[in-house]
Amino acid sequence: MAKNKFNQNWVHDHINDPYVKLAQKEGYRARAVYKLKEIDESEKLIKPGQIIVDLGATPGSWSQYVRAKLAGKEGGGILGEIFALDLLPMDPIADVQFLQGDFGEQDVLDKLEAQLRGRKVDLVLSDMAPNLSGNSHVDAARIENIIELAVTFAKAHLKPNGALLVKCFHGPSYNNIVDMFKTEFKTVANKKPKASKDKSSEIFLLGKCLKS
């Protein structure tokens, strides 16, 4: 009974969520787009001509936003390139090169690297999150592992002045993750966009300019 009540409350909140309504109106696949939009507007992360990698991309709202920001090529298309990756399938988005697979698997990483053809990346975005078990310490380890993968990828592929934006959560591993960022990036900031629900422990970490 309690679970049904929870589901009903979630559905009610979701239907009445202003960001859900806005996403539907503006043709975005998820409300998560407004988290990226707010961070991008304050930090000026996304610019025409960039190579951008979107990790944990499905259903694709972040890639949709990035594509809109890179649009403007004469005759259609985009100025720059977008590579998206997720374990789950994603409906195609024009000008977005999608790869389905587990980012933690070397063969998937090899395929992504083959698409990059040795070119360095301007921006790595990660909205990846593990399936949560409810055990705070187990979940903290899973979150830390996913972010560590994103940081390792960024270290190998970012331009020196590039940036990495990851979804994180306040919890037992948060300080470790911030320390990891501070070890690798010259500037580190945390971001809690308005579209991120108040009751959620979700927070975004932004690292800019790799330390040599």
Binding site, annotated residues for S-adenosyl-L-methionine: 60, 62, 86, 102, 127
Which sequence positions are flagged as catalytic? Answer: 167
Grouping H, G, I as helix, E, B as strand and the rest as coil, residue 163 is strand
Grouping H, G, I as helix, E, B as strand and the rest as coil, residue 96 is: strand
Annotated binding site: 60, 62, 86, 102, 127
Q: Give the length of the chain.
A: 212
Cis peptide before 172 (omega within 30 of 0): no
Tell me 200's DSSP state: -
Contact 130, 142 (CB under 8 A): yes
* CA 17/CA 195 separation, integer angstroms: 10
- 99, 139 Cβ separation under 8 angstroms: no
Residues 54 and 82: beta-carbon distance below 8 Å: yes
Max CA separation in the chain (angstroms): 57
